[in-house]
Amino acid sequence: MSILVTGAAGYIGSALARALAPRGPVIATDQAAPPFPGAVTGNLAYPPFARSLVTPEIETVFHLASLVSGGAEQNFELGTKVNLDATRDLLEACRLAGHRPKFVFASSIAVYGANLEEVTDDTPPSPRLSYGAQKLVCEILIDDYTRRGYVDGRSLRLPTVMVRPGAANTAVSGWASAIIREPLAGRDYVCPVRPQTRMACISGTKVVDAFLHAAALPGERLGPRRTVLLEGIPVSAQGMWDAVRPRAQGRVRFEPDPRLQEIMDAVPKATHSARARALGFPASASIEEIVDDYEKEASLARHG
C-alpha cells in the first residue's frame, strides 16, 4: 500500500514525505517538482489531476497543499479552487476508490475569529479570512465523508509553523520565520510588526510528528468529531529575536507596516487544547526549542 502527500514541495510537506519514506512507498505531488524519486508534478486546481491521484493502492492521504492566507485573500477564485475544490476532488476520489483510505488534512487556526487572546477546544470557529472559511468547510466535509464511511478522516488546526526555510510564501505570518532565519544566515532583517506583537507558534518538527501521530491514532479515539486543535505557545516578535540574537550574525530592526500590523493584532496569541494533550499530540515547549529544532533540521538538510 502507498501513501500520498500533496504539497510535498513545501516546508512541512517535504519534511513529512522524508519522514514517511521508511514506512512504505510515498507518492509526493506538488505544482513545483517535489525533491523525491517518482514525484508527480501537477496542479490540484485541475480536477482530473486531483482525482487521478487516489488509486486503490493509496492507503493514506496527507493533504497539505494549499494557497495560504495572504494569497487566498488576494485571489479568491484561485484560493477556492486550491483550498476547497481540490480537497473535495480528493475526497471524491477516495469515495470512488471504495476502500476508505485515511485522510489527514492540514487545517489552520485561521478558522477562528479576530481579536482573540487565546483559543481553546471550546472556541467557536468564526473565520475572518477566505482562507479560514475554506479550511473550515473542508473540515466539515471530512467529518461527513468519515461519517458515511468513505474516508477515515482527521484534521489538524495548525498554529503558526516555524521556522520556514528558503524564500517567504504568501502567509501573513511569514515574518515570524524570517526574523529567525535571516539573522542566523548572517543577513539583516527589517521586521514589519511591532516588537510586542505575539502569535501562537509551533515548530515544524512537532507538526510533522503530529501528522504521523494523527495517522496512527485509531479512529474510535477521535470519535465523530475529527478535528484536533494543536497547541501553540505565545511568542512575541521581540522574544523571537531575543532567542536567536546570541547565535545570529545578522541584526533585526522593527519597522511596522500598518496594514500587516492590523492583521497580526487580530490573530490568536495562544492555543490550548486539552483534547490534543489527551490524545498524545506533541507541542513546542519554548521559542528556544523551536529555534533548536530549526537548526537541527537545517543541519540535516545540509548534510543529506
Cell 500520498 belongs to: 4
- The answer to whether the beta carbons of residues 189 and 252 sit under 8 Å apart is yes
Rounded CA gap, 126 and 132, in Å? 8
Q: Which CATH number fits domain 2-302: 3.30.70.260, 3.40.50.720, 3.40.50.300, 3.30.70.3170?
A: 3.40.50.720
Tell me: the pLDDT tens digits for 153-173?
A: 999 999 999 998 876 655 778
The verdict on whether 131 is a catalytic residue reads yes
Average pLDDT in the 137-147 region? 98
Question: What is the structure's pLDDT at 304?
Answer: 58
> What is the chain's length?
304
pLDDT at residue 135 tops 80: yes
Task: Indicate the domain borders of the chain.
Answer: 2-302
pLDDT in tens, 166-214: 766 557 788 999 999 999 999 999 999 999 999 999 999 999 999 999 9
Cell numbers found for residue 114: 479576530
Q: What SS3 class is residue 235?
A: strand
Residues 238-282: pLDDT tens digits? 999 999 999 999 999 999 999 999 989 988 999 999 999 999 999
Q: 23 Cβ partners below 8 Å, 6+ apart?
A: 3
- CA proximity to 193, closest of 239, 157, 232, 228: 239
What's the pLDDT tens digit per position in 62-121?
999 999 878 888 999 999 999 999 999 999 999 999 999 999 999 999 999 888 899 999
Query: Could you tell me if 196 and 238 are in contact, meaning their C-beta atoms sit under 8 angstroms apart?
Result: yes
Q: Catalytic: which of 11, 112, 131, 150?
A: 131
* pLDDT mean over 285-299: 92
Res 303 pLDDT > 70: no
Strand partners, 156: 106, 228
Interval 16-35 mean pLDDT: 91
How many of the other CB atoms lie within 10 Å of CB of 57? 14
